[in-house]
Amino acid sequence: MTMTTDIFLQTIVNGLFTGAIYALVAIGLTLIYGVMLILNFAHGEFLMLGMYVSYWAFDLLGLDPYLSLPISALLIFVLGAVIQWGLVNRVLDAHPLNQIILLLGVSTLITGLVQFFWTAQPRVVRVSYETEVFVYQGIRFSVPRTVAFFAAMIISLVLYMFLQKTRTGAAIRAVSQSRSGALLMGINVKSIYMLTFGLGVAVTAVGGSLLTPNYRMIPTVGQTFAVTAFVVVVLGTMGNFIGAFIGGLIIGLVEAFAGFYFGGDVKIIASMLVFILILLFKPSGLFGKKKGI
């Protein structure tokens, strides 16, 4: 199959739009890993919770999903901080297997609770602009996905500036480089951990909320995203902020092109293949050993 320029550009746009959400989710994952060396196996569930918060706000309060972004971010931030303080904190020095089991437990518990209270029935948020499209230079831009793309870009940038420019951001980066060093400098490592975990899952939840205007949600919707986020994080070097951002866009593009050539279902194989290949040939990712939160 050959691609005309139009289709080529269209595929790139599609890839970048999905990739921006991947980037947001992966940034959250990499932030948590970079600071406390914990792989958040419950990451996808926080994305799912973000979606359900927006659904709830829409269903009960009639709130547009974009207006519920701050609610989703705040609620999930608090939840993440509490989970970090109550559970994750206690396994920071434990065997990796115990950490994984704990977080798989959190993931299973959250999925179960959502299934119990909202049932496994698929939910949709119906907004007026759901299927709206504008065409520019022959390329079709879906309104919700365009909004999601720019929102994800802005949030990533704001988070990056926060980490680079503020005192708290500097403290987070210091803890990621050396826990004991930061402790000696008088940084309250425990609250940094809570803050980081909260932030990490909050941006992920926002990613979920941004998806709601055109995405069906079920209690297990986060799992696919979580696996993709793992791919992205490994691709962009675990613990590297910019790596996760660029990795997200790359995986979005890979999936878009694989989907164009081989069909929708096969694209997940493509990203898994990319993942396995990176693991095999460059497990340290695109950015080598640089952690760089």
Partner 1 sequence: MELSTKTLGVSRRSWLRQLLGDWDQIQLLISLVVLALIGVVSLFVESPYYMGIMVLTTLYIFTGISWNIVAGFSGQLVIAHIIFLAVGAYTTVVLNNTYGITPWVGILAGGVVAGLLGRVVAFIALRYGLKMDYFALFTIALMVAMKTFFLKWEYVGGAVGMGLSLRDAGFSKMIFSSKEPYLYIILVLTTIGVLVQYFIYQSKMGKYFIAIREDEAAASALGVNTSHYNTLALVIGAAMAGVGGGFYMMYVTYIEPPQVFDLGLNVEIMMAAPIIGGLGSLAGPVLGGILNKPLAEFVRGTLSGGRSGMTLIVYGSFLILVVLLMPRGVTGVLHKAFLKLQRRVTRTNE
Which residues of the shown chain bind partner 1 in the complex (CB under 8 A)? 39, 87, 90-91, 94-98, 100-102, 104-117, 119-120, 219-220, 223-224, 227, 230-231, 234, 238, 265-266, 268-269, 272-273, 275-276, 279-281, 283
Which tokens belong to 49? 């919770």
Between 78 and 279, whose beta carbon lies closer to partner 1?
Answer: 279
Q: How far is the CB of 24 from partner 1 (least distance, A)?
A: 20
Look at residues 88, 92, 150, 123 and name the one whose alpha carbon lies nearest to residue 220.
123
Q: How far is the CB of 54 from partner 1 (least distance, A)?
A: 20
Q: How far is the CB of 102 from partner 1 (least distance, A)?
A: 4
Between 168 and 223, whose beta carbon lies closer to partner 1?
Answer: 223
Which tokens belong to 219? 């209690």
Between 82 and 272, whose beta carbon lies closer to partner 1?
Answer: 272
Look at residues 93, 89, 293 and name the one whose alpha carbon lies nearest to residue 176.
293
Which tokens belong to 146? 């365009």
- At residue 24, φ and ψ (nearest 5 deg) are -60, -45
> Please, are residues 67 and 4 in contact by the beta-carbon 8 Å criterion?
no
Q: How far is the CB of 268 from partner 1 (least distance, A)?
A: 5
Between 87 and 170, whose beta carbon lies closer to partner 1?
Answer: 87
Q: How far is the CB of 18 from partner 1 (least distance, A)?
A: 17
Q: How far is the CB of 62 from partner 1 (least distance, A)?
A: 27
Q: How far is the CB of 184 from partner 1 (least distance, A)?
A: 28
Q: Quick check: helix, strand or coil at residue 98?
A: helix
Between 138 and 288, whose beta carbon lies closer to partner 1?
Answer: 288
- At residue 87, φ and ψ (nearest 5 deg) are -120, -60
Q: Quick check: helix, strand or coil at residue 236?
A: coil
Between 68 and 228, whose beta carbon lies closer to partner 1?
Answer: 228
* Cα 102 to Cα 205: distance, rounded to the nearest angstrom: 20
Between 106 and 148, whose beta carbon lies closer to partner 1?
Answer: 106
CB atoms within 10 A of CB 132: 13
Provide the residue type at 282 as one letter. K
H-run or E-run covering 133: strand 133-136
